[in-house]
Every structure is written in structure tokens, then in C-alpha cells.
Structure 1
């Protein structure tokens, strides 16, 4: 039996966007296996709602990633593991060292802090957009961003060039 046009559209979305969604999920969770679970859960929910979201599925799926990650963290159903335990690092280069340092620093933030930083600086959302995605005010986003960057400055002074000076 041939697939319907909606099934074909969903399949095309999954094939095209899974790598980018996986990168974001990894940044949110700090763990490759949890990231896979997070993407799978988001895509499952998107498949169920595909007829409603087919015109703009990216925003819908990304919001699921963010909210599901926070839900998992709040419920403590998922045991967090060190991200580097399952990570096969390529040979060390200055970029690799910086990436590993950044991954280790992000892993030491709270889930909420990491989520806000990923949305602000990796996804390049405004404070208002981050607030809308997470259901919090832009003032709260500013506060969490300031706290998270302050913590990163304390934990990893070697990242000062990336983080910048406090304002």
C-alpha cells in the first residue's frame, strides 16, 4: 500500500531535520543517548499532530524538545550520565579542546540554565522568543542567562573569550 502524501511529508521532514534536532537535543541533555530519546519522543508527538503542524513543524518539534527535556529533568525519571563517558573524542586539536571544555561546562549547569543558553546562543532566539518557548517571562530569561554565564565564568575561566565580560 503506497504511503499517503502526509506520511511522505513527515518522512521527508524526519530525514532532513533529524541531524539538526539531534545536535540541539545533545546540547540540551549533554548525553548522546538521552538526546536520541528526546528526538524520538519529539518526533513521535509530531507524527501524532502532523495534520495540524504540517505547515510549520520545525517550531513545534523544537518546542517539544525543550519542554520534554525540562519535564524529564523535573520528574527525575532519567538518570543523567557524564556526557563524555560515551563520547569517542577525535584526536585533540585546539577546537576539540575548546568544544570538550564547553561541553563539560554546560554539563555542570542546571537543565534550565543550559536550555536557556542553548536557545539564546545556539538557536539564536531573542529573550522574548525563549520566554515564549519555555513559558516564562523575558525578565526571567535575562536573569537565568546572567546566572548561567556567571556560573560558566566561575567554572571555566578558560572560556572567558567566548563568554565575554559581565555587563
Structure 2
């Protein structure tokens, strides 16, 4: 009887350890999760900057396409000449009604150190759109990434369409 209890306890311990090991995320999954977590706050930060650019353009009275393009590129760079952080504008859209759409590639990288180190890179291609005004609303929508992003070893994510 005593032997049965010992064997049962050992078997239960092994099953518990095996179950726990299966539920743990791999180093690659952890690196991707961390990279994704780094991307989401960046989207919020960019929205705030776009809002500021649109407010400043309205305040200055210069809402020309050229001025707005220059101001956006000053903050985010161009995708064909990326700034540090792997971010850049790859398209600008202007409507006759005065709204502006800025398509930006946002990349985030992370690595998980450990016995089997892993690295992950994720990207989102997002259009930030709004019109110059005293308190501009900036909408966020996913857009297709340029082929140069899709051709790399980067996992492309969608950020939920959000308006504010």
C-alpha cells in the first residue's frame, strides 16, 4: 500500500511537470509577444504626434499639402530612408475636403535570451487620418504594407481599427 502511494505521487508529479512544460511559451513565442507589446504603445504615441502636427498646421494657417508632408516627414521620416526604430512614411493622401492620411510602417523588435535565444520582428502598416483643426480627431486604420516589408522576415500585424 505504501509503495502504491509513492508511485502515485511520483506519477502525479511527472504529469504535472509535463503539463506545465507544455503550457509554457517557447522563446520564439515570447520574443514575438514582447515585440507586439512594444508596437501598441508606439501606435498611440504616433496618433498623438499626428494630432499635434494637424493642430499646429491649423494654428499657423499653413495647411498646404507640402507643409503637412514636410511636418510629418520631420517627425516620422520616410520609409525609403528609415529613421532609427524602423519607422517611416510610405504614402500620403490628401482629400479635397482637407483631410490628410499618413501611411506609416511601424516596426518593433524583441529578443528573448535564454538557452535557445530567439528574436522576433513585427510590423504594422497604419493610416493615421484627420483634418487640421483646433482639436483634430485622428482615425487609425490598417493598410497593406509595401512589398519591401512583406518580403522580409517580419510578422505583419493588424492594429484594430480605432477612431478618436
* TM-score normalised to structure 1 length: 0.25
* TM-score normalised to structure 2 length: 0.26
Higher relative strand content: 2
Structure with bigger gyration radius: 2
